[in-house]
């Protein structure tokens, strides 16, 4: 059986125009509506992806310029308000200065107390003592030398005694001061003033008397150390004066800020020797280690210290 096809069924077959939509033509990126209007508005321009349209659109450029101007105005206003908020009134400036001076003075006082009472508890040679410990160590070295001298002096009651027996007697005397202070007793400190060659008497209240006994116990205790360490008292005096001068300068500034200029000037013009002079001219180097102690002039009877007792003639 033979089958024959009509040529008209396969040859020159063309799609009818009815198979296509007259509104679009083939496009490799998809359909494009021929009669669609170009994109308008910000969203439409952004969707279109046309940078030129973004830069040349008057409406968008106007919005951008207005936004920039608004940001600049807001920034300038914030800066001006910030400057006004940081400006202090004269009263606020005075209070702020007073607060700062008070903090500086408190810090200076704290540093001085630390320097005054600092203790180096090294078993050997100390390397970082405070002012008080340095003076106590020097006093303990001298105390040990006096014990040796007493042990070798036939005229002394401590002759040929063991050093711990002498130490024990000294501790009893130190404890007497503490007990006297605890019972409300007072004492007096007497010395010769080099500027007048006269005896000066300084009263010690009960607490100061007790404190002197505690210092004496500290000296005795350090005298038992295996190592003896010496300190120059002139250096200790110089360092003390320097530390006090720093506090004095800070205190003078604080007094001036408080409106107490006359008091500040009085402190500033008085040196550490009690003289009213230029503070720059007062030097503690006036203390000379080898300078002999001045002999007091013949003072009036009321200025003489009481005669020493037998207990004062030997070392405890």
- Is 75 domain-assigned? yes
- Is 117 domain-assigned? no
User: In terms of Cα–Cα distance, which of 220, 214, 229, 215 is closest to 164?
Assistant: 220
- Is 134 domain-assigned? no
Looking at the 3D structure of the chain, how many domains does it have? 2
- Is 113 domain-assigned? no
- Is 109 domain-assigned? no
Residue 190 φ then ψ, to 5°:
-120, 140
- Is 67 domain-assigned? yes
User: In tens digits, what is the pLDDT along the chain, a chain of 316 residues?
Assistant: 444 455 544 445 555 555 545 554 555 555 444 455 555 555 555 555 555 555 666 776 777 788 888 888 888 877 777 666 566 777 877 788 888 889 999 999 999 999 999 999 988 899 999 999 999 999 999 999 999 999 999 999 999 999 999 999 999 999 999 999 999 999 999 999 988 899 999 999 999 999 999 999 999 999 999 999 999 999 999 999 999 999 999 999 999 998 999 999 999 999 898 888 654 544 444 444 444 444 545 444 445 555 555 445 444 4
- Is 177 domain-assigned? no
- Is 120 domain-assigned? no
Q: In sequence order, which ranges of the chain are alpha helices (DSSP H)?
A: 41-48, 51-56, 58-86, 90-117, 131-151, 163-182, 206-223, 233-257, 261-269
pTM (predicted TM-score): 0.63
Domain of residue 59 covers: 34-82
């Amino acid at each position: 059986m033979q089958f024959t096809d009509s040529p008209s069924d396969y040859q020159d077959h063309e799609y009818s125009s009815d198979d296509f939509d007259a509104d679009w033509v083939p496009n490799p990126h998809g359909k494009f509506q021929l009669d669609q209007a170009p994109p308008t508005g910000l969203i439409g321009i952004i969707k279109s992806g046309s940078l030129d349209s973004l830069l040349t659109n008057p409406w968008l450029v106007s919005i951008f310029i207005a936004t920039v101007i608004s940001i600049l105005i807001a920034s300038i206003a914030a800066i001006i308000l910030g400057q006004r908020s940081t400006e202090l009134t004269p009263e606020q400036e005075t209070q702020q200065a007073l607060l700062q001076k008070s903090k500086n003075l408190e810090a200076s006082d704290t540093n001085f107390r630390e320097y005054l009472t600092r203790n180096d508890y090294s078993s050997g040679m100390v390397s970082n003592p405070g002012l008080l410990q340095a003076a106590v160590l020097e006093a303990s070295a001298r105390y040990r030398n006096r014990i040796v001298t007493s042990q070798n002096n036939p005229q002394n009651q401590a002759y040929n005694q063991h050093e711990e027996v002498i130490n024990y007697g000294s501790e009893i005397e130190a404890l007497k001061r503490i007990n006297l202070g605890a019972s409300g007793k007072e004492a007096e400190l007497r010395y010769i003033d080099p500027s007048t060659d006269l005896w000066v008497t300084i009263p010690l209240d009960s607490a100061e008397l007790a404190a002197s006994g505690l210092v004496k116990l500290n000296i005795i205790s350090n005298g038992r150390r295996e190592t003896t360490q010496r300190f120059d008292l002139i250096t200790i005096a110089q360092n003390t004066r320097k530390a006090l001068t720093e506090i004095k300068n800070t205190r003078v500034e604080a007094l001036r800020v408080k409106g107490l200029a006359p008091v500040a000037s009085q402190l500033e013009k008085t040196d550490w020797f009690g003289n009213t002079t230029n503070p720059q001219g007062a030097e503690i180097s006036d203390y000379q280690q080898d300078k002999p102690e001045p002999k007091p002039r013949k003072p009036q009877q009321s200025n003489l210290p009481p005669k020493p007792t037998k207990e004062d003639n030997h070392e405890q």
